[in-house]
Amino acid sequence: MSTTFNLVVAEDTVRIPPEKFNEPLEKVALEQLKMKYVGTIDEELGYLIAVIDVKVSPIGKIIPGDAATHHKVTFSLLTFLPKVQEIVEGEVVEVADFGAFVRIGPVDALLHISQIMDDFITYDEKQGVLMGKETKRKITVGDRVRVRITAVSIGKGAGFGKIGVTARQPFLGKIEWINEDLEKMKSEERGKEKEAKS
């Protein structure tokens, strides 16, 4: 599994207001950078989660009409950029009649009802369960699932973006199902080996 988390080194200029002159430069710069970047979405970088490793130039510039100082700063951004075809694991955080929401990294991806399994699925609103008619396999809040990202739509700014995922491929779905399928395959292999020997 490839990772969708990245550390990106960036440069910017921070404004240090006069009332903060007696505070440590790095601390004030970190506050300013967090307000500007954390929780936003960048089309190229993805979701911006955290600012770390801030290095501020001790020499600032003063701009006419502004009592603040402006300092060049280098820092690292922790980002989350989901990629189409990537396989990720997450936790089911919500179940609805149209599918389930899976938390992957800092965001929730939609696992549409048509993408859960090759079976007719019913929704039990009281129990918050999606269940396959033939297989009796269930999905509910708290389940760990392995899914493949099929669609990513993230725009600039503070919007949420949309991520679509599927579990309708071999070795995807609820972790318990994957383990059951692997055990079934192993026992079938052992059965074939026994037949070949006899």
Per-residue pLDDT of 81-100, as tens digits, reads: 888 999 999 999 999 999 99
**Does residue 1 have a pLDDT over 50?**
no
Domains of the chain: 5-80 (3.30.1490.120), 87-190 (2.40.50.140)
pLDDT at residue 145, as a whole number: 95
Q: What is the mean pLDDT of the chain?
A: 89
Please work out, in degrees rounded to the nearest 5, the angle formed at the alpha carbon of residue 3 by the alpha carbons of 41 and 13: 40
3-class DSSP state of 39? coil
**Which tokens in the block code for residue 69?**
């100082």
Give alpha helix (H) positions in the chain.
25-37, 175-197
pLDDT at residue 158, as a whole number: 46
pLDDT tens, position by position, 122-178: 999 999 999 999 999 999 999 999 999 999 887 654 456 789 999 998 899 999 998
Which residues neighbour 107 within 8 Å (Cβ) at sequence distance 6 or greater? 47, 80, 82, 160, 161, 163
Closest CA to 80 of 29, 121, 26, 40: 40
Q: Name the residue type at position 142.
A: G
For the whole model, what pTM was predicted?
0.76
**Does residue 75 have a pLDDT over 70?**
yes
pLDDT at residue 94, as a whole number: 95
pLDDT at residue 13, as a whole number: 95
32-47 CB burial, b ≥16 within 10 A, e <16: bbeeebeeebbeebbb
**Does residue 54 have a pLDDT over 90?**
yes
